[in-house]
Amino acid sequence: MTRSEFDDIRAYVADETTHAGDLLSIARNLIDDLERAHMREAALRTYYLRLLTAARATVAAESVGAPDPLAFVKHELAERGQLPEDGEAVQRILSDARAAAALLACLEQTPQTRPRGPRLRKCVGTGRSLPR
């Protein structure tokens, strides 16, 4: 859910003409959204843990001179259908990796400052409609 959707909900809840039944409906929708977000987070944590484990096993296998140290990472990528298949895909993947590394380096160097003064609230977006 976007920030503007939260702002829309806050405004709707603060409105004195909002009926209790409408608030209950919003609460149910928010709980459903929260549950879906929790499930997505759990799945992403699982994927991350599997990739991290495969990466660590690959480094360990290389350090002991295993014949195919990349087998662990290749296995994880193959299970997700992410192994490169041809030369063009390989070049695109390498280019994407370089671009991602450059973006991360830029993000780590730039301090994130918040604008001074009162926060302006804009209600934009069409992702969620509130009952009236």
Tokens of 112: 């994130």
- Within-domain flag for 115: no
Question: What would the pLDDT profile of 66-123 be if each residue is shown by its tens digit?
Answer: 999 999 999 999 999 888 887 778 889 999 999 999 999 998 886 766 666 666 555 5
Residue 34 structural domain: 3-109
- Within-domain flag for 114: no
- Within-domain flag for 51: yes
* Confidence (pTM): 0.61
* Total count of domains within the chain: 1
Q: Is the dihedral of CA 34, 39, 44, 45 positive or negative?
A: positive
| Cα–Cα dist 54/77, whole Å | 10
128 SS3 class: coil
Residue with tokens 């993000």: 107
